[in-house]
Amino acid sequence: MEKSTQPEPVSSVLKVFSILQALGEQKEIGVSELSQRLMTSKATTYRFLQTMKSMGYVAQEGEADKYRLTLKLFELGSKSLEYVDLVELADKEMRFISQQTNEALHLGALDGNGIIYIHKIDSGYNLRMQSRIGRRNPLYSTAIGKVLLSDREEMFVRDTLADVEFIKHTENTLENTDQLIAELERVRAQHFAQDNEEQEPGLRCIAAPVYDRFGHIIAGLSISLPTIRFDEQRLDYYVGLLQTAGRNISAQLGYNNYPA
């Protein structure tokens, strides 16, 4: 018999998705029937099912030889759709702010111990911030990062940044977690965050939060501009634009208690 040249990890992934598809087509299915559909041994099928059960994707009906899908896949799909909705909803608000200011707008979300940009609108000026969707930046030196951490418990902040080196990008960059936690108190009180040349020299950023339907901050919306175009007297204007946008996006995601 000709030996398969398909890598084993790929073969395993195919088996997992075949099991998910089979369970999706039937309310419940037994190991024997499933192994026949997969054309693999009952022992192998059982091991796959037990692993998927331990991860919460499959449930076993008591001690019976029947398995069914849990709602964990639905939960994952819902989270993905939420971010798709988030980008679509944010785009309209970001374009309005862009029309008013002609400056760069970013939408960022928490990604491990950093932030990741999931949407952006470039500035119309030649002198502007260089960025890309999918780019990661630190939590401690960005306005979006501070916003994302502002509704988290202190222990979460410390655990998240436990292995993070606080690199001094500029002389204004925060140096440790204690300084960041003190800064987060101000962010909570004023309901917006700033990056005052902390990530890049000559760049100011201001960010406001976006909430999901449960009242958790799931994203930060920011405006970025060079210090030569930043007027401190216009800070309240920028904050107002961002918070109005954050309030509108949050409301459409189901949260109507955005702080005044």
Whether 134 contacts 106, CB under 8 Å: no
Quick: pLDDT tens for 218-243.
Answer: 999 999 999 999 999 999 999 999 99
Does the pLDDT at position 92 exceed 60?
Answer: yes
Q: Which 8-state DSSP code applies to residue 222?
A: E
Quick: pLDDT tens for 145-187.
Answer: 999 999 999 999 999 999 999 999 999 999 999 999 999 999 9
Write 40-48 long-range contacts (CB < 8 A, 24+).
40/15, 44/15, 45/19, 48/12, 48/15, 48/16, 48/19
Whether 151 contacts 135, CB under 8 Å: no
CA distance 116 to 139: 10
